[in-house]
Structure 1
Amino acid sequence: MNRRLPANMAFDFVRKSRINGLISLNSKSEHLNFFCVDHFNISHVNLTAPGNSPNTDGIKIGMSNNVKIRDSHIGSGDDCIAILSGKTNFDIHNITCGPGHGISAGSLGKHKEEKNVENVRVRDTVFTGTSAGIRFKTWESSVAEITVSGFLYENIKMVDVRHDIGDSHVQIRNVTFKNIWGTSRDKVAVK
């Protein structure tokens, strides 16, 4: 039997709340898991797990609105931040990410009941030694007819990142990349 390990902390159906100054070390699964939260502010958190620790997302969020994540360091064996189905109005800024898989929209498209992901801003962020930087992570044979739209990535620095910008199989519209620079471990930085 393959049993799923618990998150360090989970927040379900929480409104108008905040986390400030939290340190989470060596989570067995994701550090912080959010589901159906609204108006939630996350700041000055330090989430750390080894780069080879599987499924240790820093922050995983689904079906949530009006979330701000700022002034934090996230290092993990999976996504620093995983933006799952059904999210709107996210503001992510001043994050250092590494090790890990970067900041991902997804995985998306596996389940029919998934919702669109809209209006996400990621800015003033540094990726160091991550396997990806900015990534839209989707299932190749998507069963959900969803759209990812209204994304802005601005002032992003990549340092020794394997795949700086990744590809997708879900419809993506209105995505802006502005002032992104750095180094890639591979010859192809944008896929």
Structure 2
Amino acid sequence: MEFSFVNNSRINGITLLNSKMGYFNFFSVHHFNITDITITAPGDSPNTDGIKFGFCSNINISKTHIGTGDDCIAILSGTTNMGISNCKLKDCELIPFKIRGKNKEEKNVNGLTVRDIVFNGTSDDIRIKTWESSASKILVSNFVYENIQMINVGNPIIIDQKYCPYPPCEKKGESHVQIQDLKLKNIYGTSTNKVAVNLQCSKSFPCKKVELIDINLEHKGVEAGPSTAVCENVDGSARGKMVPQHCLT
């Protein structure tokens, strides 16, 4: 289902099952509410994005269940002021920021609030990825993640600014996407990957004002040892309970 250039509308009470590709695609949609939606596909199904947004604003998603083989919710270029709350996500990835900086016409992404979410058996949960050797200079700012439960997830918290899966991307430069004002509060549960907090930011545009508050992510994978954190080119602060021990400077 695709919505383009739609304003002041809503959808609710819809169930979508076993799509061969993506489910919902939103482009240039503003002031839109999504509630009580169920999206289901096998966990190994490829390219079955649940909900995808580009150049949208003032979007609210609540009381929604998504389980697919790809992205639960993908937020692309030019999207601002989005709220996601009281949702349950399984098997898929929540990628709140998937803008790659790959194309010069891509725009800033600002204002995302994710609260009261349960991830169960997902692969990459709080994930921000940007294209290595990016063509555009973009600002990603004012993101808040709060009260997030992780149940046996792969990578609970990850920033990947070296994302380079295929040409024209080349592994020879730094991302020009600036990430700043990122707040992670009360993130708890279990990680199957020993590196539970992985913040790999751009050397040219280091992440700024990253705030960690009450993080409690225990390692429950096959590899021995407690959970760990990795930080590259990131500036921020931490307070409250910290499992794993933070590596911010």
Whose radius of gyration is greater, 1 or 2?
2
Q: Distance in 1 between matches of 2:46 and 2:130?
A: 19
Q: List gaps (5 residues or longer) in structure 1.
A: 1-8
**What does residue 190 of structure 2 align with?**
183
**What does residue 102 of structure 1 align with?**
94
- 1:107, distance to aligned residue in structure 2 (A): 3.8
**What does residue 149 of structure 2 align with?**
157
- 1:123, distance to aligned residue in structure 2 (A): 0.4
Q: List gaps (5 residues or longer) in structure 2.
A: 162-176, 199-249
Q: Distance in 2 between matches of 1:127 and 1:144?
A: 32
- 1:112, distance to aligned residue in structure 2 (A): 0.8
Secondary structure of the 1:66 match is strand
Q: Distance in 1 between matches of 2:6 and 2:49?
A: 20
Matches within 5 A, 1:40-189: 40-169=32-161, 170-189=177-196
Q: Distance in 2 between matches of 1:63 and 1:114?
A: 9
**What does residue 246 of structure 2 align with?**
none
**TM-score under structure 2 length normalisation:** 0.72
- 1:141, distance to aligned residue in structure 2 (A): 1.6
- 1:63, distance to aligned residue in structure 2 (A): 0.3
Q: Distance in 2 between matches of 1:136 and 1:128?
A: 19
Q: Distance in 1 between matches of 2:112 and 2:59?
A: 9
Q: Distance in 2 between matches of 1:120 and 1:102?
A: 13
Q: Distance in 2 between matches of 1:102 and 1:136?
A: 9
Secondary structure of the 1:51 match is coil
Matches within 5 A, 1:15-30: 15-30=7-22
